[in-house]
Structure 1
Amino acid sequence: MAYRATEKTRAAQAERREVLLAEAGNLVAAGGFSAASVKAIAENCGVSVGSVYSYFDGRADLLAAVFRRGADQELNEVRMAVAEHSGAADRLRALVETFARRAIRGRQMAWSLLFEPVDPRVDEERLVYRGSYVELTTAILRDGIEEGELPEQHVGIAAAALIGAISESLTGRLSPVPVELPETFSDDDIVDAILQLCLRAVGFAA
């Protein structure tokens, strides 16, 4: 008689997978994707390396799942912040400030999600989520043009440029390798500078 998983068995498997995924996320948040080895995950969860592989199709699959979870959380926070505002200018401010401030608060995870060299599987996920941010920004800019707040422009290119600018502008602050910055250049200064750049770039009065 063929084995058929029961609902209880499936629930237990899903729970064990969740424990492994959560621990992998903790390791990434603390030391980046490079710290999330299958051996470290297994040891911290008190299971064998083989047990980890029974829930994921290799380390690349596991890290891609960790990336999706972290990126989903950040994207949802940005979307919620944008949805709380009306008017294209205020929505763009919410997008920039939420993105930048959350990245600075969770520097290691943000660095890993945005910049850390990783398996191609994770790079593929990065492109998907970058596209989601560009899509959200495109909608804001299109509304701004329709409402007469912005001059006519190629909204797709402008949106992609803004998302690239926000990410690249955070590199120095997020980098695990110390980068010299003026002592008076605070996190608030960085966020405000990025915001002013983005607003002016598309034609809003900063």
Structure 2
Amino acid sequence: MAYRETEKMRQRKARARQNILECTQECVASGGFRSARITRIAGLAGVATGTIYRHFESREELFAEIFRSATQREVDKVAEALAEPGNAISRLEAALRQFAERALRSPMMAWALIAEPVDPRLEEERLVYRRAYAEHFEHAIRDGIAEGTLPDQDARQSSTCLVGAISESLVGPLSPTLAGQNTLSGDDKHRLVDAILIFCMQGLTGTRR
């Protein structure tokens, strides 16, 4: 008789897999992908290292899933801000602020997603999600051009520039090697976010706000 996996067994495997994902995310949030060693993840999850490889073919596959789920949450938050009522300028400002403030609230995870040196597979995932951010910004920029709140411009190129500007401006503040030397206070974070928004919106509108 052929072996058939029962529903109870499937649920047990799903719970074990989810536990591994949660423990991996905990490792990444506390020390980046570099600190998320399989032995450490296994210890947190209370399983043998071989168990992890029964659920994920490789360390890269496990990390890619963490990267996708964590980044998708951030993309969704930006999309939510862009879907709020108001003109394109107010929605873009809200989305950019959301991006920057959430990054500064979880600096290690943000560093891992935005700038940590990673293997080629994760770098590919990073490019996919940079495009996802840009697409959301592009739609809002096109709305702004149509409603007359933004000057005519190449919306696709402007959206790409927005993603690059806000990501690059956060690299220093998020960097683990610089964080201990240059810890930001609450006021410093507010000033940083405001400065990023001023730069980005001036680039979109062509005027000082």
Report the TM-score when normalising by structure 2: 0.93
Contact 1:134 1:163 in 2 (8 A): yes
Instruction: Write 1 or 2 for the structure with the bigger share of helix.
Output: 2
Tell me the residue number matched to 1:5: 5
Q: Deviations over 1:113-134 (max 9, x none)?
A: 0011112111111111111100
Contact 2:82 2:140 in 1 (8 A): no
**Alpha-carbon offset, residue 85 of structure 1:** 3.0
Tell me the residue number matched to 1:197: 199
Matched residue SS, 1:40: helix
CA distance change for structure 1 residues 131 and 31 in 2, over 3 Å: closer, same or farther? same
| Residue identity matched to 2:168 | E
**Alpha-carbon offset, residue 189 of structure 1:** 0.6
Tell me the residue number matched to 1:117: 117
In the TM superposition, 1:1-80 aligns within 5 A as: 1-80=1-80
Matched residue SS, 1:30: helix
- Distance in 1 between the 2:89 and 2:151 partners? 13
- Distance in 1 between the 2:68 and 2:60 partners? 12
CA distance change for structure 1 residues 147 and 34 in 2, over 3 Å: closer, same or farther? same
Contact 1:138 1:159 in 2 (8 A): yes
- Distance in 1 between the 2:182 and 2:40 partners? 34
Q: Deviations over 1:76-111 (max 9, x none)?
A: 112112222321001100111000000001000000
What is the Cα-based RMSD across aligned positions, in Å? 1.7
Stretch of structure 1 that moved more, 187-196 or 5-14: 5-14
Matched residue SS, 1:178: helix
**Alpha-carbon offset, residue 64 of structure 1:** 0.3
Contact 1:149 1:204 in 2 (8 A): no
Tell me the residue number matched to 1:159: 159
- Distance in 1 between the 2:108 and 2:28 partners? 8
Tell me the residue number matched to 1:141: 141
CA distance change for structure 1 residues 48 and 72 in 2, over 3 Å: closer, same or farther? same
Equivalent residues, number: 206
CA distance change for structure 1 residues 183 and 99 in 2, over 3 Å: closer, same or farther? closer
- Distance in 1 between the 2:24 and 2:133 partners? 25
Matched residue SS, 2:176: coil
Matched residue SS, 2:69: helix
Percent identical: 43
- Distance in 2 between the 1:87 and 1:167 partners? 24
Tell me the residue number matched to 2:169: 169
| Residue identity matched to 2:35 | A
Contact 2:82 2:94 in 1 (8 A): yes
| Unmatched segments (≥5 aa) in structure 1 | none
- Distance in 2 between the 1:125 and 1:174 partners? 20
